[in-house]
Amino acid sequence: MSADPFQLFDAWFAEARAAEPNDPEAMALATTGADGQPSVRMVLMKGHGPDGFVFYTNEQSAKAEQLAENARAALLFHWKALRRQVRTEGQVMRVAADEADAYFASRSRDSQLGAWASDQSRPLDTRETFEDRYAEMKRRFEGEDVPRPPHWGGYRVIAEWIEFWSDRPHRLHERRLFTLARGAWSEGLLYP
């Protein structure tokens, strides 16, 4: 047994990066708004560690609006090739502006332009409308760096518990649960 779930996560994530054919950093993000209706979608983890799991999005998207109403979320990593998954839940905090700026600057130029062109989660009449907006942003920022849009930023899910699930024959799975209490992690097991 270990007392540090982040060391275990680092090891599992390294194995997932070697084994998963597509997007080992993909995670299901579940949120709820004020109405209590759950919503889940896939996002890409862009940072992780003892301070939490980080993703970025348009702050006017449905997920961001839900997080503004209820700053709690659940995450699920499913690494099918390894027959493993990791689940966690916790409070969500906004990423600092300088951290969001640094990540945005690391994105491809096309992704940066797409962030400006997209009204994420809003109705779109035709694909052509979006492509026209993208072309407009391409012209607008031609010959210069693309700054982070004011409506785009990051979120950090601060884990209160983390469960590591491993597939075993005959559904005799292994479930290791790390729980944070008074600033210290403890580990236990769950029945499959």
Residues belonging to the active site: 171
Helical H segments across the chain, by residue range: 5-19, 62-69, 97-106, 109-117, 127-140
Which residue's entry shows tokens 């080992």? Answer: 24
Q: Which residues contact 49 (CB under 8 A, 6 or more apart)?
A: 6
Instruction: List b or e across 115-141, with b for residues whose CB sees 16 or more CB atoms inside 10 angstroms.
Output: bbbbebeeeeeeeeeeeebeeebeeee
Question: Cβ distance 81 to 26 under 8 Å?
Answer: no
Indicate the DSSP class of residue 148. Answer: P
Conformational region of residue 153, where left means phi above 0, alpha means psi within -120 to 50, and beta covers everything else? beta
- Bridge partners (DSSP) of residue 165 are 85, 175
Question: Cβ distance 159 to 180 under 8 Å?
Answer: yes
